[in-house]
Structure 1
Amino acid sequence: MTNRYRALFDLTGKSALVMGAASGIGEATARMLAGLGAQVVCADLDGAGAKATAESIVAEGGTAQGLAADLGSHEQVTEAVQTTVRAYGGLDIGVTTPGINIRKRLSAYSEDEFDRIVGLNLKGTFFFLQDAAAVMAEQGGGSIIACSSMRGLMVEPGLGVYASTKAAILQMVRGLATEVGPRGVRVNTIAPGVIDTPLTRPLRDDVRTRDAYSAHTAFGRWGSADEVASAVAFLASDAASYVTGENLVVDAGWTVMDGRFDPGR
């Protein structure tokens, strides 16, 4: 009985592509999927970093390869998908994590800055969803996980454009889930909260910001990339076989808390 339940989370023999695998949530996800048995292609704009992640997986007994790929380039996204298919015979798990932000008020945004954020976060995710879903629909199954954010549900000053792309990703994933579900393909999002990654490191290094953000969570701390990768692994596995079009929030309660009340004070 125990083995049957454990098998639900076993990814042995599954093929996976992780965009953004050079660092942060993408790197942690690539390592975790490989640790659960998946054969992983690690892709990132930082090709050297992606290859380093793959090499570390291989050194630990896993199966992986790395390549340079820009999520903002449809041609390179297509090549990453096809590389996975050629290497491992298909694409069972597709994960995309890259995102960028320029923290400033909407009134201060230039058109070029707007295009940069939307071009990578939203349009790049669109490229990935389109290509991964096409392969999975043809083979009759698979799991796609895109990275949204708690900022897709709530926002603070300076994050209007970033938050808009993350909210749009939610709806795009939901739409795709309804379209490819009949072909056995599941499509979901994760919504990380305050996670310690290279993207958020400048905020975390500022003591006031770090402490303020920590205090807004139920646990009083920032999360780790591994804690988000665990959520991705669940959605990728057969344990989530009846889950599609959903957004799994990994934020230590940030989006459900409206301040704190301590009756002891």
Structure 2
Amino acid sequence: MNDCTSLNDYGNLFRLDGKRAVVIGAGGIGHEVVRGLAAHGAHVICVDRDAGTAAEAAEAVGGEALTLDVTDAAAVHDAAAALGEVDVLVLTAAMNVRKRILDYTTEEFRQVTRLNLEATFTVLQAFGRGMVERGTGSIVVFSSIRGLVVEPGQSVYAATKAGAIGLVKTAAVEFGEDGVRVNAIAPGVVETPLTSQIKADEQWYAAYAQKGALGRWARPSELVGAVVYLASDAASFVTGSTLMVDGGWTAVDGRFTPPT
């Protein structure tokens, strides 16, 4: 990229031709991310703890499938070494236990932090090392609006998602001089199997829809553009950022619309 970019080059800003992309968490939002990256020319390696999920995502785009538990640090480092050159790394894997602080168990705390925070660190370390050595790469970590705003029952999840943003910023600073960009995406409420508990409660579902400026939930496909942008040369000077894809959730001050 330079100041003499031609109009033809601008037309290819979002292309990922010849890039090898790894998507960790290939179900739900991750499945749509796989399709979006492939549509822009990337060869995608679909990674998931569930072999069937990884295989299904890979089959949809002619990519590769890899079964991996990202809470197993040694396995993550082995996978990063075995995969070799990776240009784009997207991490979507996460979990939540929705309980108030006084009701949380130590084991539940450990489960959530192990996947959402410890595994994020492991992935950044394992895949970031190779990118730094090659002097190029883009890493995209899925955080959440809960990394910035909270509600009852979201203590540990919110803490891990805020922690993920902190890790992203630090990795961006540490990897940046070697040409590696690291960014986060913070979705709002998204229609996925993981939000089925909320969707099953009409009042709860409606309240969440009304919270955002657009007055509705997101579809998984609506997260794809942000990933492609951050993965591509269109975001060549973007690093250490958290891109809000929340339908205006964090822009709205409460749910009351006053008369004007």
Shift of 1:198: 1.6
Secondary structure, counterpart of 1:258 in structure 2: coil
TM-score, reference length from structure 1: 0.93
Matches for 1:1-265 after TM superposition, within 5 Å: 1-21=6-26, 23-58=27-62, 64-85=63-84, 90-259=85-254, 260-263=256-259
Shift of 1:212: 0.5
Q: Identity over aligned residues, as a percent?
A: 45
What are structure 1's unaligned runs of at least 5 residues?
Answer: 59-63
Tell me which amino acid in the other structure corresponds to 1:8.
Answer: L
What are structure 2's unaligned runs of at least 5 residues?
Answer: 1-5
For 1:102 and 1:45, locate their aligned partners in 2 and report how far apart those are by CA, in whole Å: 19
1:41-74 Cα deviation digits (max 9, x unpaired): 000011111111100112xxxxx11111112111
For 1:114 and 1:37, locate their aligned partners in 2 and report how far apart those are by CA, in whole Å: 39
For 1:255 and 1:40, locate their aligned partners in 2 and report how far apart those are by CA, in whole Å: 32
For 1:209 and 1:80, locate their aligned partners in 2 and report how far apart those are by CA, in whole Å: 40
Tell me which amino acid in the other structure corresponds to 1:25.
Answer: I
Call closer, same or farther: CA 1:118–1:150 in 2, change over 3 Å: same
Aligned residue pairs: how many? 254
Contact 2:213–2:251 at 8 Å: present in 1 too? no
Secondary structure, counterpart of 1:168 in structure 2: helix
Shift of 1:162: 0.4
Secondary structure, counterpart of 1:10 in structure 2: coil
For 1:38 and 1:93, locate their aligned partners in 2 and report how far apart those are by CA, in whole Å: 9
Shift of 1:2: 4.3
Tell me which amino acid in the other structure corresponds to 1:193.
Answer: G
Contact 2:183–2:240 at 8 Å: present in 1 too? yes
For 1:31 and 1:233, locate their aligned partners in 2 and report how far apart those are by CA, in whole Å: 10
Shift of 1:83: 4.0
Contact 1:16–1:84 at 8 Å: present in 2 too? no
For 1:210 and 1:96, locate their aligned partners in 2 and report how far apart those are by CA, in whole Å: 26
1:232-265 Cα deviation digits (max 9, x unpaired): 110000000000000001101101101232527x
1:123-149 Cα deviation digits (max 9, x unpaired): 011110001110100111000011110
For 2:77 and 2:191, locate their aligned partners in 1 and report how far apart those are by CA, in whole Å: 30
Contact 1:149–1:193 at 8 Å: present in 2 too? yes
For 2:259 and 2:9, locate their aligned partners in 1 and report how far apart those are by CA, in whole Å: 46
For 1:82 and 1:3, locate their aligned partners in 2 and report how far apart those are by CA, in whole Å: 36
For 1:6 and 1:138, locate their aligned partners in 2 and report how far apart those are by CA, in whole Å: 30
For 2:196 and 2:81, locate their aligned partners in 1 and report how far apart those are by CA, in whole Å: 33
Contact 1:231–1:248 at 8 Å: present in 2 too? yes
Secondary structure, counterpart of 2:114 in structure 1: helix
Number of the residue aligned with 1:61: none
For 1:243 and 1:78, locate their aligned partners in 2 and report how far apart those are by CA, in whole Å: 26
Shift of 1:225: 1.1
User: RMSD in angstroms over aligned alpha carbons?
Assistant: 1.2
